[in-house]
Structure 1
Amino acid sequence: MLDNLGEDKSIYLQIGEMIEDEILRGILNEEEQVPSTTELSKFYKINPATAAKGINILVDKEVLYKKRGIGMFVQTGAKSRIIEERKKNFYDTFVKKIITEAKLIGIDKQELKKMIDDSKEA
């Protein structure tokens, strides 16, 4: 099913992120049904309301939609919406901080690019 829950953030946020991760990895595809709140709550031994809150965040973000009486499904275009949101968050969370720190310690744009290019992780 999904990964284990950690203690670094709210459980409902982790549920939503794990479902998004499965969409990004192609484990859950557009128009495919996702685990129900009951399945999630039993698997993780959490309150069904907590699981529902994680699911509802994804509904609000137009990643999931409900088929009445059947369950929750991955919305068409969900993967691209998740990618765009995560790129923006990545920029805001990491790139801006790197640029600010680089300027502070005298690393120019070219040197920063070279560091990234030379990185064994890239």
Structure 2
Amino acid sequence: MRGPFVQDKPIYVQIREIIEDQIINHQLKEEEQVPSTNQLVEFYKINHATVSKGINPLVDEGILYKKRGIGMFVAVGAREKLLEKRKASFMEDYIVKLVQEADKLEIGENDIIRLIKKVKSGDTNEH
């Protein structure tokens, strides 16, 4: 678990993202129990409703499942579902905007690829 929270995003969204990140990063594995709502409330010192609002969509989407009286667990295939969702979001949030801005600046596809390779290699100097 981690904290504290950033101000520009609702806490329940950040709770959800923390759990998603832990699944994506293999910190939480399939069929592994996740921290209970009460544990998250105590750890983060936040309202129970806030935690539930962050976790319930993960249950609704089949990322987590509940075992009555035992707790919540990571569902089989949860990581793959999250990766697909995040890739689609990445495309919309970053790639589409990158291409639109490159078009405005008359930056061609080869130049975009060259710039991406430059950034990935750690060379972020201009030109």
The TM-score, its normalising length taken from structure 2, stands at 0.91
CA distance in structure 2 between the partners assigned to 1:13 and 1:118 by the alignment: 33
State the shift of 1:118 in Å: 2.2
In structure 2, runs of 5+ residues without a counterpart are: none
The change in CA–CA distance for 1:62 and 1:121 in structure 2 (over 3 A counts) is farther
Equivalent position of 1:98 in the other structure: 98
Residues 41-56 of structure 1: pairs in structure 2 closer than 5 A: 41-56=41-56
Equivalent position of 1:34 in the other structure: 34
CA distance in structure 1 between the partners assigned to 2:34 and 2:2 by the alignment: 11
Matched letter for residue 8 of structure 2 = D
Residues 37-116 of structure 1: pairs in structure 2 closer than 5 A: 37-116=37-116
Aligned length: 122
Matched letter for residue 36 of structure 2 = S
State the shift of 1:121 in Å: 3.8
Equivalent position of 1:117 in the other structure: 117
The change in CA–CA distance for 1:3 and 1:25 in structure 2 (over 3 A counts) is farther
State the shift of 1:25 in Å: 1.2
The TM-score, its normalising length taken from structure 1, stands at 0.94
Runs of 4 or more consecutive aligned structure 1 residues displaced over 4 Å after TM superposition:
none
- Deviation string 1:71-108 (CA, Å, 9 cap, x unpaired) is 11000000000101001101100110000000001001
Q: CA RMSD in A?
A: 1.3
Asked whether the 8 Å contact 2:3–2:44 carries over to 1, the reply is no
Asked whether the 8 Å contact 1:3–1:18 carries over to 2, the reply is no
In structure 1, runs of 5+ residues without a counterpart are: none
Equivalent position of 2:25 in the other structure: 25
The change in CA–CA distance for 1:75 and 1:121 in structure 2 (over 3 A counts) is farther
What secondary structure sits across from 2:73 in the alignment?
strand
Asked whether the 8 Å contact 1:2–1:19 carries over to 2, the reply is no
